[in-house]
Amino acid sequence: MTFNYFCLLGAVYHNFAPLLKSRLAAVNKSWWKILSFLLLVYTIVAGFLWEVPRLDILNETIRNLYFHVCMWFGMMILYGISFAYSIRYLRGFNYKYDIYATHFASLGSLFGVLGYITGAIWVSVTWVTQSGQSLGTVLKEPKLIGAAIALLIYGAYFVLRGSFTDMDKKARVSAVYNIFAFVMLFPSIWIIPRLVGSLHPGSPGSDSGNPALDQNDLDAGMRMVFYPAVIGWTLLGIWLATLRIRLQLIRDKSITHEA
Amino acid sequence: MKLKSINHFFAFVLAMFIGNSAMAQSAQGPEMADLMRSNGKIYIVVAVCLTILIGLFLYAWTIDRKISRLEKEK
């Protein structure tokens, strides 16, 4: 039975080998897209099936770490890439880098919005209902407010871009603004929620330390899934951003060649 | 830490072979989806999510190839 199966596999491989070889060149360049796929398959399989710590209130929703938290990590990395390309644009005024910065920022915002929505779902079963928190305390949650501020600042980035008619001015001003927007991430989502009381892990009062990065904060088994998940989701975001970048580069070919 | 996670993995494999009925019986401790796992139904969720993931990646892949073709045309 197994032998037959392997024979069949061999026959399939024999017939498709030429096609496979021709595809190999393409695969060579896009190995990271395949890596992203494999990591996300691993995330879903291990994320749903592996043992996780049994905690009150959280129960199985602790698995949201592999999805909700990864959205925020992906957002930060994508915004970081966008920030780097904005600086690169300002160094040589190459229009290409302005396109890079915009689309990485837009994919970062998509991840941020997804993180926000998934957080809202998670809130409704943990903070609001079971731990005696009223909606009022949840709405005062500094990380919610900080994340909303951060996303709105990036929203203003796109509004700003849309309001220019002059292309050079648009690229220049929005690149400077993008640097400001990235810097604003630091106080709004990393510093302030850790200074004042927060329902998220890592705030004073809850002894859970620095969330996700502290050795003692995250279960070792969960860490084995969480870090690959972050890489997988981020690579997916980068892939989608590059698709949009490549489309716009084709569209704006006449402009980018002049620069 | 590494040894610990390997132990963790073996514990998981062991738990899979024995079946999770022992765990489901211990009523004390926080409630988890043990019933779902003992029924085997959680695997359906995994299958559904994997199907969606594969579909999305295939879609993105076709867009990628279309853009590559456009880039070659010039």
Q: Which one of B53, B73, B74 would you mutate to disrupt binding with A, by most A Cβ within 10 Å of its Cβ?
A: B53
Categorize the per-residue pLDDT at B31 as very low, low, confident or very high, splitting at 50, 70 and 90. Answer: confident
> Would an 8 Å CB–CB cutoff place A63 in contact with chain B?
no
Q: Which residues of B touch A (CB under 8 A)?
A: 1, 4-5, 8-9, 11-12, 15, 29-33, 37, 42-43, 45-46, 49-50, 53, 57, 60-61, 63-64, 67, 70-71
Q: For residue A131, what is the DSSP state?
A: S
Whether residues A240 and B49 touch (CB distance < 8 A) is answered with no
Whole-number pLDDT of residue B19: 46
Please count the structural domains in chain B. 1
**Domain span including residue B67:** 2-73
Closest CA–CA distance from residue B43 to any residue of chain A (Å): 8
Structure tokens at A87: 């600086």
Longest Cα–Cα distance of chain A, Å, equals 69
Whole-number pLDDT of residue A33: 94
Rounded to 10 deg, the angle between the A95-125 and A220-251 helix axes is 140
Whole-number pLDDT of residue A232: 96
Residue A181, Cα to own-chain centre: how many angstroms?
Answer: 17
pLDDT tens string, chain A, 259 residues long: the values are: 566 667 677 777 777 776 767 666 666 788 999 999 999 999 999 999 988 888 777 778 889 989 999 999 999 999 999 999 999 999 999 999 999 999 999 999 999 999 999 998 888 877 776 556 677 777 778 888 999 999 999 999 999 999 999 999 999 999 999 999 999 998 888 888 877 777 777 666 655 555 556 556 677 788 889 999 999 999 999 999 999 999 999 998 877 765 4
Whole-number pLDDT of residue B8: 61
What was the ipTM of the complex prediction? Answer: 0.74
For residue A217, how many C-alpha atoms fall within 13 Å in the half-sphere facing its CB? 15
